[in-house]
Chains A and B, each alone.
Chain A
Amino acid sequence: MTKKENNEPGKAMIDRRLFLKSTALGLAGTALPLKKARASIWNSFFQEHFSEMDDGEIKKVLERLEQENQKKYGRNIDIRADKPIEGVKFAYALDLSRCVGCRKCVYACVSENNQSRNPQIHWISVLKFKKDDKWIDLENADRYYDPNLVPEDDSFYMPVQCQQCEDPPCVKVCPTQATWKEKDGIIVVDYNWCIGCRYCMAACPYGARHFNWSKPGIPKDEINPNTHYLGNRPRYKGVVEKCTFCVQRTRVGKYPACVEVCPVGARKFGDLLDPDSEIRYIIENKRVFRLKEDLNTIPKFYYFFAT
């Protein structure tokens, strides 16, 4: 049938391509939040990728999020977006000969980083191992230990959190580039770009990523109002979160919360590129190892034995 023949009066004149185009556009239109089309929702829907935004655009996003949080939590939550410090690469070291397994770091992290209390999310898991031939036997590690007093004589403890890999498998699998490695070596998540597919959780060999199965439950008066866009700002239902070495603290020179709370001083933190830093001294002078080194993820989290 030629085009001419189709051109009869009374017959619809629409070709296949046009039909498909308009159908697709119409369907896409239904997906837009038309009913609640407030300016902030539109802006949120069309927000650029973090790396593609300039300072002005980031500022607008932060203002929008602060307004949203004000409405949601009824209090002012300051969200900053401090950039990485030039020439710095963060690394962490943990002294296994000192750790007593008291879990103070776990709860300091929860309150500093606005983790959900109900359902419970902990960025740090403290594993308990029996002191025997098998040494670090991950399959038989116990993270639910609950004795009256720690340390127990026959056990040793190993806190595990995000290892901030130099070659992070979680970043490779993200289909929306919602997670990436910053210049200072911290792996961050943009909660506004995360679609909650949980590929990164499957890819992470350390179990360091956690998913918000429901709306995070945090008592309003316990929210830490000093937050970072890529770190501890309040999260949404359906996004993945993880340890960021307390990006909101470390980028302004402070130690992470877990370092400061450790009662036995087992946690060490510093700049890997500074030859005079504590972290470099530990790597050069102590017996260090990295968790699952054989996977070649190159963690920047060193476990060591000081004695």
Chain B
Amino acid sequence: MKKNIIIVLLSIFTGFVFATDTIGETKEFFVPPPAYPERVFPCTRCHDNVPIKVQERILTMNHADIVFDHAEEQRWCLDCHDAKNRNKLKMINGNKIDFDGSYNLCGQCHGTIFRDWKQGVHGKRIGMWNGKKLNRLCINCHNPHQPAFKPLEPQDRPLKPLEANLTPKKKAGINDQERK
């Protein structure tokens, strides 16, 4: 009986070690830098000079142009942006990360998509299929404050068979009026 308990405990322990290894794995991705808006970055340029207000509120003066449409009922700015160092982002566990590694922040909620992204299955690919793979940051395609893509205008529909101009009129030397 005692032996069994030891085996079970041991297996749980080894499983735990393995799990932490996987979670703690730091794999680097070849990503382009985020497009910082020149006027706003580094954020500390302004934020170091203003008092920190951690109270949830609607911004009316600065950043009023940001429309937040991303689970806005459950969180606000300082759930992702670090209150003390505005040049950093804040993970749920309190770790601070650079904007370059923002995919880790997004991956906290979008786990399945993060998994696909790491494999290169989520996101747009350009360049070489047999060369170095470039994983774009989530924010290179999605606006982090309004991540859903906006509807697009589709390009021209193909011509229907009767609309197709099979015999170029010029070549045949007949124009529409002569034909009538």
Please tell me if the beta carbons of A104 and B155 are within 8 angstroms of each other in the complex: yes
CA distance A122 to B158 in the complex (A): 8
A297 within 8 A of B: no
Which residues on the A side are within 8 Å of B130 (C-beta)? 85, 88, 253, 271
With A103-B154, A118-B168, A214-B166 known as contacts, the answer to whether A268 contacts B125 (CB < 8 A) is yes
Please tell me if the beta carbons of A253 and B154 are within 8 angstroms of each other in the complex: no
The contact of B157 among A85, A145, A281, by CB within 8 Å, is A145
Binds B, one of A14-22, A220-228, A257-265: A257-265
Interface residues of B in 78-116 (CB under 8 A from A): 112-113, 116
**Of listed A88, A265, A271, A282, residue having the most chain B CB within 10 A:** A265
A interface SS class? loop
Give chain A nearest CB distance to B163 CB in angstroms: 9
Q: Interface digits, A131-151 against B, CB 8 Å rule (1 contact, 0 not)?
A: 000000000000111111111
Please tell me if B120 contacts chain A, counting CB pairs below 8 Å: yes
Asked if A265 and B141 sit within 8 Å, CB to CB, the answer is yes
Nearest neighbor of A266 in chain B, beta-carbon distance: B124
B158 neighbours in A (Cβ, 8 Å):
106, 120, 122, 125, 143-144
Q: Is the CB of B159 within 8 A of A120?
A: yes
Report yes or no: B154 in contact with A150, Cβ–Cβ below 8 A.
Answer: yes
B156 within 8 A of partner (CB):
yes
Q: Let me know if A165 is at the binding interface, CB within 8 A.
A: no
Chain A: CB-nearest residue to B124: A265
Q: Does B1 contact A (CB under 8 A)?
A: no
Chain B nearest CB from A66 CB (Å) reads 25
A307 an interface residue at 8 Å Cβ cutoff?
Answer: yes
- Distance in angstroms between the alpha carbons of A250 and B127 in the assembled complex: 11
The reply on A74 being an interface residue by CB < 8 A is: no
Q: Which of A103, A107, A151 has the most CB of B within 10 A?
A: A103
Contact A106 B122 (CB under 8 A): no
User: With the chains together, A45 CA to B144 CA distance in Å?
Assistant: 61
The residues in B between 55 and 88 inclusive whose CB is less than 8 angstroms from any CB of A are none
A102 near B154 with CB under 8 A, answer yes
- Of the candidates B112, B152, B164, the one whose C-beta lies within 8 Å of that of A150 is B152
Within 8 A of A (CB), among B25-43: none
Q: Which residue of A lies closest to B120 (CB)?
A: A278
Does A84 sit within 8 A of B, measured CB to CB?
A: no
A147-160 interface bits toward B, Cβ cutoff 8 Å, 1 = contact, 0 = none: 11111000000000
Q: Cβ of B165 and Cβ of A118 under 8 Å apart?
A: yes
6 A-B residue pairs with Cβ-Cβ distance under 8 Å, sorted by A, are: A103-B155, A143-B157, A215-B168, A255-B127, A268-B125, A278-B125
Besides the contacts A100-B151, A151-B151, what 5 more A-B pairs have beta carbons closer than 8 Å? A101-B154, A149-B151, A150-B152, A150-B153, A306-B113
Interface residues of B (CB under 8 A from A): 112-113, 116, 119-131, 141, 149, 151-160, 164-168
* Leading 10 A-B pairs by shortest Cβ distance: A265-B124, A149-B151, A103-B155, A253-B128, A146-B157, A150-B154, A278-B120, A260-B126, A102-B152, A281-B119
